[in-house]
Structure 1
Amino acid sequence: MHGPVLVNWLLALLTAGAGAHCLTRLRRPARLPRLARESDAAEALMGLGMAAMALTGAAVPAAVWAWLFGLPAAAFLVAALAAPAGRAHRLHHAVGALAMTYAALAMTASPGGHHHAAALGTPVLTGALLLYFGAYSLRTGTRLLRTPSGTLALGTAGLPQACRLTMGIGMFAMLLTM
């Protein structure tokens, strides 16, 4: 990623922590709903992948990133089309995986392996993704702060939403550096 080294490390630590938490949530009993397990797997992949991308940049070939995030994006798109239950959630994960693919391909296509909007030639797509993840982060943040009963969501009950918020902010920050 382009930007101060400290910012890259902080983003990597934040997203790796969220990804690791989601990975540990996969160890829960299998009786949980399939959509919750899919969500944990997708968020673990995104968090750990975003951390790796922030640290390694263009050192990893674009094809590796494209396969790593492109395949889950396709799987989530197919799953969203096949089953109406959880469609919006799966589409969100597909958008996230496609945004990661886009960022990885743009990063490796730009000079020096850094994000440069002038080198990409797609500011409209970057802007649309920034709007999406900015709005998603704001919406998730407000949900984290308030529960249906009107009280603050404290303790472990709010951790899945906190992970989603972290992933949204991480994607926003990654796209902002493009």
Structure 2
Amino acid sequence: MSSADFASAWLLVVLCAVSGAYCLRQVRRSGGAAAGETVMAFGMALMAVPLGDRDGWQALVLGAVFSGAALHAVWLLRGGVHHAHHLVGSLAMAYMALTTAAGYGHGGGLPLVTGLLLLYYAGYVLLGGARLVAAGGGCAQRTYPVAPAESAESAESAESAELTRACRLAMGMGMLAMLLTM
């Protein structure tokens, strides 16, 4: 592994760990609603650690964790289709872990599955980035008067929503980067 690959792998670890810490903070505030994102972010950070070749058992453990996260996402689908992204993410992480366990390592996996996941996450990142930029522009153009208490509350809520979007975008970019290295 070159020094540039090593540095970018550690940057991905830090990005995912920071996203996980933010999601963990949101779990406390929301009563557990962001638990799936927290597991995904910390799991992605763990998978991105540049350890060289992983033993089969490490990849199997990660595969089992993400398979459990996929089952949790299936359970969340009862609340609406908007939870389907968690299912796709959990299944993608389980797929990457299990291809590593099967000995495929880098350059492995099924090309069709990897290609479909790359298309999904490329679209997700582009759409998420566009939404984040649009949300930032919408807040700056606000010109109508607002009561002081309402403005402080809405500003905090808008900031939290933008941070959540940024966190999701960072994790989407992390998934895209990990899929590109397969």
Structure 1-normalised TM-score? 0.80
Structure 2 stretches of 5 or more lacking a match? 141-154
With over 3 angstroms needed to count, the CA separation of the structure-2 counterparts of 1:29 and 1:19, relative to structure 1, is closer
Q: Which residue of 2 aligns with 1:137?
A: 125
CA RMSD in angstroms, aligned pairs only: 2.6
Q: Which has the larger radius of gyration?
A: 2
- Displacement, 1:171? 0.4
C-alpha change, 1:146 and 1:49, in structure 2 (3 Å) is: same
Per-residue deviation at 1:124?
Answer: 0.7
Deviation of 1:22 after TM superposition, in Å, equals 0.3
Give, in whole Å, the separation in 2 of the partners of 1:166 and 1:20: 13
Which residue of structure 2 lines up, in the alignment, with residue 92 of structure 1? 85
Aligned: 1:116 with 2:112? no
Within the candidate set 146, 157, 164, 2:134 is matched to 146
1:4 matched residue in structure 2? 5
1:160 corresponds in structure 2 to 164
Instruction: Tell me the SS of whatever aligns to 2:138.
Output: coil
Report how far residue 64 of structure 1 moved: 0.7
User: TM-score, normalized by length of structure 2?
Assistant: 0.79
CA contact (8 A) 1:9 1:54 kept: yes
1:65 is the counterpart of 2:40:
no
Matching residue of 1:78: 75
1:175 aligned to 2:175? Answer: no
Letter in 2 for 1:137: V
Could you list the per-position Cα deviations for residues 62-85 of structure 1 after superposition, in whole angstroms to 9, with x for gaps in the alignment?
A: 3211210101202212331xx2x4
